[in-house]
Structure formats: structure tokens, C-alpha cells
Chains A and B, each alone.
Chain A
Amino acid sequence: MSELRIEARQLCKNYGSLVAVDQLSFEVGTGEVLGFLGPNGAGKSTTMKMLTGFLAPSSGTALINGHDIVTDSLAARRCIGYLPEGAPSYGEMTVRAFLEFVARARGFAGKRALNAAGAAIERLNLQGVVEQPIETLSKGFKRRVGLAQSIIHDPQVLILDEPTDGLDPNQKHEVRHLIRDMAEEKIIVISTHLLEEVHAVCNRAMIIADGRLLVDDTPAGLIARSRYHDAVTLVVEQPERVASVLSELPQARKVELREGELTVFPAPGQRLFEVVSDTVRENRWAVAELRLEAGRLDEVFRQITRGEVS
């Protein structure tokens, strides 16, 4: 069996003079859960619409398991399960009728269509609402119907546009759990503007802004780009005095005091935590809190997408 792959080759999409996606090239392989991150209007959805065959690229192309999305669109679409943004569905249909329609469109005939729909209903826990018209369901259920529709043919490639947008925390947790469950044998591409989501489900993240790929890294790698990475934050009494002592440490590059929190940044290649905690003990400072910072994803995101340094 050949390795599953998505291969985007210099994908471009222009709307008149507006460049929505600009020379996007990347590869994704089995087992990867790729998160498209970016501000609104960055080109995430447009890229997904091109990968799924909804929009034709202005130039460039992509291969889904070797099927070209431009010249062999139907074969490419057969490999893909897609949840469009907002999880649209035919509101007047019942959940069961809708899923059976999608199953038949996916090539299941007769009894097999019913079975495929039934399996998807079970997987998404929709048993309680199968006979209800979709328009009468809550947002969370609608999203689950959309997800059920996307996995009905057990696709090798799953493309989900903002799968948890507008869901409550429990529903978000459920959807993420489902995505992680399926990740091993598939390629999953999700788009999101939620940084926590990348952290929760993705093992690779691409930051896109103005249609261009800015960063392609693991979530951990992204966090490590934060200036807070490996910094130490304390909450102490008399922070000014403590700050002046800590800034004398050879391992510290800089000390910042913000809203009662004192953050010590390490000099390049230095580990701070042990040194700081030793210093605290020696001076018998009253410390309410002492923690090692992993990094701040939101700060990295801002820095990359706006070239801003906080």
C-alpha cells in the first residue's frame, strides 16, 4: 500500500486583483493532523475549497493520493471527506434521510447506504435525533451531522473547516476527541483560529496570512518560538527588590514586571528554573507562585501574522 499523501503544488487563487492564496506548496502524510492557522481572511477556507474540488485553482494544483484535483477531480473527491465552514446541510431533511443521501452520493447502493448512514449515526451519537429535521437541531447537533456526513465513506483524507467553531466547551472536547481517534490511519486537515485547538489535536501547524505560508512547524515548535519559552514567572512580595536581585543572575537576560507578575527571561541556552528557585530559597522570599513558562501561542501567532513583537 502506498503512503497516503496530499501534495499541494504552488496553489494560487485570485479573485480579480485580490490574491486569496499565493503559491501555497506543502505535503501532508498519513497520521498527520495538520492545523491551518491564520487570521480571518487569510486564505484557509479558500485553500480547503480548492483541495476539495469546490473551487478551481487559478494556477497550480494539488494531488490527493495521486489524483490531480484539476484534471481528475471526481477521483480526488472520492478520497476526501469534507466539512465545509458552518457545516451546511439540507435543513428540511431528517438526519437519517440526509445521511442516506450522502451515502448514496458516495457510491453506496441499497442496503449498504443504510448501513453506512447507520454507522455514521452511531459514531457521532446521533441515535436520539435521527428522525428529526436537521433545521430543528441545536448547533452542536448540526455540527455532528456535518461530521457524520464527512466520515460516512471512511475517507482517507478528512478536511474540516472550523470543526468546533461555535460549539460549547463540552462539544468542542467531544469533536476533538473524535478527531484524535481517527487520526492514526488518515490525513486530517483542520482550519481554525483557535490556538488552543492546534495544541489539543494537531501534530503539525501551518500559519497562513494573506494567502502565504508563513510557518510550518509542530505545535511544540511554535511555542518554542515564543520569547516566553523557558522563562520563569514569580508572584512575590516586594517584587521590585526581587527583580533587582534576579536581574544580577548571569543566566538571566532580562526581568519584566507586569501586573504583579515578575518574569525572568533566560539568556540564550541557559536554564533558569533551578537557579531562580535556589535564589528564592536562599533569600527566603515569600513566594505565592513560581512557574516555568512553556511559551505563549497567542504571542507567537501575533508576532508571525503581524510581524509584531509584544
Chain B
Amino acid sequence: MSNFTSPVSNVLRRELAGYFATPVAWVFIVIFLVMAAAFTFYIGAFYDRGIADLDPFFTFHPWLYLFLVPAMAMRLWAEERRSGTIELLLTLPVTLWQAVLGKFLAAWLFVGLALLLTFPVWLTVNYLGDPDNGVIAAGYIGSWLMAGGFLAIGCCMSAVTRNQVVAFILSVVVCFGFLVSGLPMVMDLFSSWAPQPLLDAIAEFSFLAHFSTISRGVIDLRDLVYFALVMVVWLLANTMVLEMKKAD
């Protein structure tokens, strides 16, 4: 492996193993699966709709992620700071960016795993009817990309403070802002004074808008680029925050 990827994969493997060595992994997976199912079948009225698709399933993902992803991300850097292992990690011959990327990728893969474990829902809908599996695949990809966006925000907020509760609250708030930025409750704050191009830009930031196009089965390059940019920008911010605050 190259000089860049091998430290990243080393950090990634350690993190992933860490999830499964603590209750974090199991609690996250169980809660995620139970809630996803409950939302789909009860609130989403999966059966009553009589339509063979996973729309009721994917609709609730943004709201599930809003709380579960920050809960998962809050310990990433805050815990390293609290226990002092950050000093160990960052004095190894591993660059800050490699460490940030390794931690993020581990968490993102883990969320991907939780997402894959929802496959019984997919089996159910295929058993009951004849859904468009291309749309469902797109929905999974969109959901995973959106989780990556939430996670990148959570990582950055976790680096801001050594207090995990503060990190959690900050990232829920920021994630919520990104989630609803296209909706009236946010737009009304700006619409009275902001120029139209700014309003359009703010609306463009909405996770919901980008996610809904993908989950309708339209994989538009712009949506992919959007989520990729969100992740890169927040991870760069994460790196800068760490650089500034690692001593505190």
C-alpha cells in the first residue's frame, strides 16, 4: 500500500474494531434497525399505501440520522482529547488529514453496514410486489451519501470540544440547519432581506432536496458532487479545528 493509504487504513481498522469492542456498534445497529422499521411500517404506513416501493422507508432516514449520526460522531475526537490518546495518535508518523480521514471512513463504513442490515425491508417489498430495484438501489446510495454529510459535520463538531454532550448538541443543530435549509422555516429568516441569489444558494444547501432527487431514482452528478463537497469541506474544517485546538 502507498505511504498515504496505509496509515489511513490502519486508523480505519483500529476505529472499526473499537466500535465492536464497545457497546457502541451494537446499540447503534439495533436502534437504527428498530427505528427504521418502526417508522416504515407504522408512521410510513408501508402496508396501507399498497405501493411496492421503499419511499416510506427512505423518507425517515434524514430524521433518524439527525440524532443517531451525531450520537455516533460525538465521541470521535472528544474522546481522544479527554483520554489524551490524541497526543499518542498525532505523534505517530500519521498526518492530521490521514487521521481525520481514517476516523471518518471507519464511521461511514459502519453506518453503511447498518444500512445494509436493513435488507429485510428490501426482501419484504420484493416478496409483496414488484418494485423498481434500481430506484431502491439509488435510495440506498443517496441515504449513505447523506449519512456521510451528517457524519462529516459530527466529526468536526466533535473536534471543537472535549465535552461529548456539547459536541452532540452542536452537531444536531448544524445538521438540522443543513437538513431544513430549503424549507420555509429557514427561508423565512432570510427572505425579507437577502438577495435572491443568496436565497437560492441557501436553498441549494438542503440535504433534503438533494436526497429526495437521488431517492426518486435520479442519480444526478450535481447531487453526488454536492454530498462529496459537503464531506470534504467539513473534514477540512475538522482538520483545521484540530490543528488549532489540539492542545486544549
Which residues of chain A have a CB within 8 Å of any CB of chain B?
15, 49, 52-55, 74, 77-78, 80, 82, 84-86, 88-93, 97, 101-102, 104-107, 109, 133, 149
Interface check B137, CB cutoff 8 A: no
C-alpha gap A82/B21 in the complex (Å): 26
Partner of B87, one of A88, A104, A105: A88
Q: Is the Cβ of B92 less than 8 Å from the Cβ of A77?
A: yes
Interface check B247, CB cutoff 8 A: yes
Q: Is the Cβ of A77 less than 8 Å from the Cβ of B93?
A: yes
Q: Is the Cβ of B85 less than 8 Å from the Cβ of A74?
A: no
Q: Is the Cβ of B83 less than 8 Å from the Cβ of A91?
A: yes
Partner of A93, one of B1, B6, B17, B87: B17
Known contacts A88-B83, A101-B13, A106-B93; can you find 18 more A-B pairs with CB under 8 A?
A: A54-B246, A55-B246, A74-B95, A80-B91, A84-B84, A88-B84, A89-B88, A90-B14, A90-B18, A92-B21, A93-B17, A93-B18, A97-B14, A104-B6, A105-B94, A109-B1, A133-B21, A149-B88
Q: A93-B14, A101-B10, A107-B93 are in contact. Are A84 and B87 (CB under 8 A)?
A: yes
Partner of A105, one of B83, B93, B246: B93
Min CB–CB distance B100 → chain A (angstroms): 15
Interface extent on B, as a size class?
Answer: 20 to 34
Which residues of chain B have a CB within 8 Å of any CB of chain A?
1, 6-7, 10-11, 13-14, 17-18, 21-22, 83-85, 87-88, 90-95, 246-247
Which of A84, A97, A105 lies at the interface centre, i.e. has the most chain B CB atoms within 10 A of its CB? A105
Q: A49-B247, A84-B91, A91-B83 are in contact. Are A105 and B7 (CB under 8 A)?
A: yes
Q: Is the Cβ of B14 less than 8 Å from the Cβ of A101?
A: yes
Q: Is the Cβ of A102 less than 8 Å from the Cβ of B87?
A: no
Between-chain CB contacts (< 8 Å), 7 pairs: A49-B247, A77-B92, A90-B14, A92-B22, A97-B14, A105-B93, A107-B93
Q: A90-B14, A92-B18, A133-B21 are in contact. Are A105 and B85 (CB under 8 A)?
A: no
Q: Is the Cβ of B18 less than 8 Å from the Cβ of A89?
A: no
Q: Which residues of A contact B92 (CB under 8 A)?
A: 77, 102, 105-106
Min CB–CB distance B54 → chain A (angstroms): 35
